[in-house]
Every structure is written in structure tokens, then in C-alpha cells.
């Protein structure tokens, strides 16, 4: 035997003796202590298959607000970005000529009213005189005819006066609905003809999103069905929408059908042109086993989780499905009520001993080894 081998054997015997007779021996025999884990139950939920489609936000309605009469723009009351209410004044056109014309007709009207009153007084006197035989019936008819002619004149004048007043009102261009001015189409001092544009106005109290749906899914989408909408420009927010219309005219090349979705725009967070991701439900709802998404462990193309039974963790391979909030559908050897690990599952192995702790409570530190207590048996002072 070589001198090296002769030295190795006593050293090996010493190490084995130390492990067997040392106070640390019970700890080595116990192996790893239980791992602290948080669990969550497997639940049965109603879910629906879904499809996500991309669309673009458009205004609920847009209008090129135009003038009904021609004239010079005296005042432009709004600018791009202005929020207006229905009936708010947007612009005022020059109306000096109409104002003069209105005064002329009002003067004529006042004069005609005075003549009419005088003619009515004359007719009343003529009626009494005719009864007394002091005037002829013909004179009475002439007085009555004068009253009728003046009344007709007043009616015509009033119609012309109202027409002028209407043209004056049209010189004031007002907002047809609540909205936001996206563009001004004229400036103060410019002449605009009848039908000339004043501003471009959009209503964003509600928005519509147009998406294109593949033909194989279009039959499973229903008008009035709820959808959820996420906007790339507004992270963390989900907006509720509804399917408003299915357009039965496909893109012949791509075989895609337009679907119009409406979304209430509270707070006016949504603007035209924003990218929208719309999630549609497909077909009827169905029941499914679901677990918290943190329970899943993925390795390559496989997914598994750990089920806790009698203080031990057992690995179960599953097939993930649809998600719903923080839950995800799973298919495998599970049943509702099973406790699956959602925290502390990173280092678990099949059959690992576990210690279940409450969620949100910091678990106590796990001991991997322990020094012998100074007062433990077998240690002297």
C-alpha cells in the first residue's frame, strides 16, 4: 500500500465518525427543511373564448360647420382645440346691411299698424252711421275693404321682417353639438360664400373603433355584445365597449369583415387616431378550471404547477387556456378546491416538503443548517 492511501483511510474514518456521533447528525438526517409557500385554490369559473383585433379610434361624429349665408367674417370666437357646447357662438358675419333693412321694415310696419288702427276706427264709425242711415252701404264696404288691405299688407311686411331676422340669425354661426374644434377653416376679415366652412368640429363624448374580423369568426360576434378595449397610449386602463354594427362587406383579398365598436369616452381620454386593441368574446360561455396565473411554471413548450397535499408538493403538468383577470384556465389532473402553489414554487421538486404561509405575510427565514446549542447535551461548558 502506498503511503498516500495509508493516510486517506484514517481521514475517511474520522469524517464518517464525526457525522455519526456529532450533535449535527440529527440535522443531516432530516434533510432539507420544509419550503415556505403561498397557495391558492383551483376554482371553477365561467369563461368565453376570445379573439383580439386591432383598430383605430375615430370620433363619434364629425362636422364641417358651414355658414348658411354669405358675408365677411367679423368675429371668429374659437380656435383649434376649443371645447364648445351645443349653441355656442363660433363666428359672426357682417350684418350691417341686413340691420339697416330690418330697421326700414320695422318703420314700415309701425306706419302700417298706425294706418290700420285708424282704418278700424273709421270702419267702426261707418257701421254705426250705416245703421242710422247716415251713410251708404257702399261707403261702409269701402271702409271695410281698407281694413282688409292694410291687414294683408301687415302680414306681408311681417313675413319679410321675419325673413330678415332669420338671415340675421344665420350670420351667427353656432355649434350644432357639444364637441372640440379640430380646425378653423376661415379667419376674421375673410369673405365666405353660402356653404363656406367655418370650423371642423368633432364629438368625442363617444368614440367608435372600426376593426376587421376574419370571416371564420364573424358569425360568432353579435351586435350588442360587450367588448373590452385597451389603448396603447393609455397603459393600465381598460375601457368597456359594445358591438354596434357588423358590416356585411368583406375585403375580397383578405376576407376580413368590418366591425364597428362604440365606447363611452368619459373624461375625453380617447382621441382620434389612437391604436386600440379590442377583445371580442366568441360563442357561448363555458365552465372551466382556473388557477392564479402565478401558479404556472413554463419550461419550453410545457407548463406545470405544484399541488399541495398533506404537507408535500406534487408536480402536475397542465395545458393552459384562456385568461380572465388574474386567473388562467388549465386542463390536467386537477379538481376544484385543490391548493396550488403561487409563491415559492421556483425551487420545488416532486414530493418536496412545504409549509403553507399566508399571502402578504413575510415567511420566516428558512434554516438550511444549524449550529448546536451551547447548552445541548454532549457539549461541555
In which band, very low, low, confident or very high, does the pLDDT at 108 lie, cut at 50, 70 and 90?
A: confident
pLDDT of residue 360: 64
Share of the chain above pLDDT 70, in %: 85
Is 182 domain-assigned? no
What pLDDT, in 10s, does the model give residues 156-191? Answer: 888 888 888 888 889 999 999 999 999 999 999 999
Which of 175, 227, 228 minimizes the C-alpha distance to 203? 175
Q: Which among 239, 264, 282 is the end of a domain?
A: 282
In which band, very low, low, confident or very high, does the pLDDT at 371 lie, cut at 50, 70 and 90?
A: very low
Does one domain contain both 221 and 278?
yes
Is 55 domain-assigned? yes
Which of 27, 39, 96 minimizes the C-alpha distance to 359? 39
- CATH code where residue 37 lies: 2.40.420.20
In which band, very low, low, confident or very high, does the pLDDT at 154 lie, cut at 50, 70 and 90?
A: confident
Q: HSE of 151 in the Cβ direction (CA atoms, 13 Å)?
A: 8
The single residue listed with the C-alpha cell 428558512 is 366
Alpha-carbon distances of 340 from 23, 232, 311, 333, rounded to whole Å:
37, 34, 12, 12
pLDDT of residue 182: 94
Does one domain contain both 273 and 295?
no
Average pLDDT over residues 113-137: 81
Does one domain contain both 322 and 340?
yes
Average pLDDT over residues 340-368: 78
Average pLDDT over residues 36-45: 95
Share of the chain above pLDDT 90, in %: 52
Residue 378 DSSP label = T
Is 184 domain-assigned? no
Cα torsion 198, 203, 207, 208: sign: negative
Does one domain contain both 129 and 158?
yes
What pLDDT, in 10s, does the model give residues 42-82? Answer: 999 998 888 999 999 999 899 999 999 999 999 999 999 99
Task: Check whether 26 has a pLDDT greater than 50.
Answer: no
Does one domain contain both 296 and 271?
no
Number of domains observed in the structure of the chain: 3
**Higher-confidence residue: 8 or 304?**
304
Does one domain contain both 145 and 110?
yes
* Distance separating alpha carbons of residues 249 and 55, to the nearest angstrom: 17
Which of 222, 215, 227 minimizes the C-alpha distance to 284? 222
3-state DSSP helix/strand/coil % of the chain, to nearest 5:
30, 40, 30
Domain limits at 346? 33-48+287-356
* Distance separating alpha carbons of residues 206 and 237, to the nearest angstrom: 17
What pLDDT, in 10s, does the model give residues 85-102? Answer: 999 999 999 888 878 787
Residue 57 DSSP label = E
Amino acid at each position: 500500500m502506498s503511503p498516500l492511501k495509508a493516510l486517506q483511510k484514517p481521514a475517511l474514518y474520522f469524517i464518517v465518525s464525526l457525522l455519526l456521533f456529532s450533535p449535527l447528525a440529527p440535522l443531516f438526517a432530516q434533510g432539507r427543511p420544509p419550503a415556505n409557500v403561498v397557495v391558492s385554490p383551483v376554482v371553477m369559473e365561467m369563461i368565453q373564448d376570445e379573439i383580439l383585433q386591432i383598430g383605430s379610434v375615430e370620433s363619434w361624429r364629425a362636422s364641417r360647420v358651414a355658414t348658411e349665408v354669405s358675408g365677411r367674417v367679423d368675429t371668429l370666437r374659437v380656435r383649434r382645440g376649443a371645447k364648445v357646447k351645443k349653441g355656442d357662438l363660433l363666428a359672426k358675419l357682417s350684418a350691417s346691411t341686413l340691420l339697416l333693412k330690418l330697421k326700414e321694415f320695422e318703420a314700415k310696419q309701425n306706419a302700417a299698424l298706425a294706418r290700420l288702427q285708424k282704418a278700424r276706427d273709421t270702419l267702426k264709425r261707418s257701421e254705426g252711421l250705416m245703421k242710422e242711415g247716415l251713410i251708404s252701404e257702399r261707403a261702409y264696404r269701402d271702409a271695410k275693404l281698407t281694413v282688409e288691405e292694410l291687414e294683408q299688407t301687415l302680414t306681408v311686411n311681417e313675413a319679410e321682417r321675419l325673413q330678415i331676422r332669420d338671415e340675421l340669425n344665420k350670420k351667427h354661426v353656432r355649434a350644432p353639438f357639444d364637441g372640440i374644434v379640430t380646425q378653423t377653416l376661415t379667419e376674421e376679415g375673410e369673405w365666405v360664400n353660402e356653404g363656406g366652412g367655418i370650423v371642423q368640429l368633432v364629438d368625442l363624448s363617444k368614440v367608435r373603433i372600426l376593426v376587421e374580423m376574419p370571416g371564420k369568426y364573424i358569425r360568432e360576434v353579435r351586435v350588442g355584445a360587450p367588448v373590452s378595449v385597451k389603448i396603447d397610449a393609455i397603459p393600465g386602463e381598460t375601457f368597456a365597449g359594445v358591438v354596434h354594427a357588423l358590416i356585411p362587406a368583406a375585403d375580397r383579398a383578405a376576407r376580413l369583415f368590418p366591425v364597428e365598436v362604440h365606447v363611452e369616452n368619459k373624461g375625453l381620454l380617447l382621441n382620434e387616431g389612437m391604436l386600440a386593441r379590442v377583445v371580442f368574446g366568441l360563442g357561448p360561455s363555458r365552465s372551466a378550471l382556473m388557477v392564479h396565473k402565478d401558479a404556472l411554471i413554463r419550461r419550453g413548450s410545457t407548463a406545470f404547477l405544484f399541488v399541495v397535499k398533506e404537507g408535500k408538493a406534487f408536480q402536475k403538468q397542465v395545458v393552459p387556456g384562456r385568461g380572465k383577470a388574474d386567473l388562467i384556465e388549465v386542463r390536467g389532473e386537477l379538481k376544484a378546491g385543490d391548493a396550488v402553489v403561487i409563491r415559492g414554487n421556483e425551487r420545488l421538486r416532486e414530493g418536496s416538503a412545504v409549509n403553507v404561509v399566508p399571502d402578504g405575510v413575510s415567511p420566516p427565514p428558512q434554516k438550511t443548517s444549524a449550529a448546536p446549542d451551547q447548552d445541548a447535551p454532549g457539549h461541555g461548558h
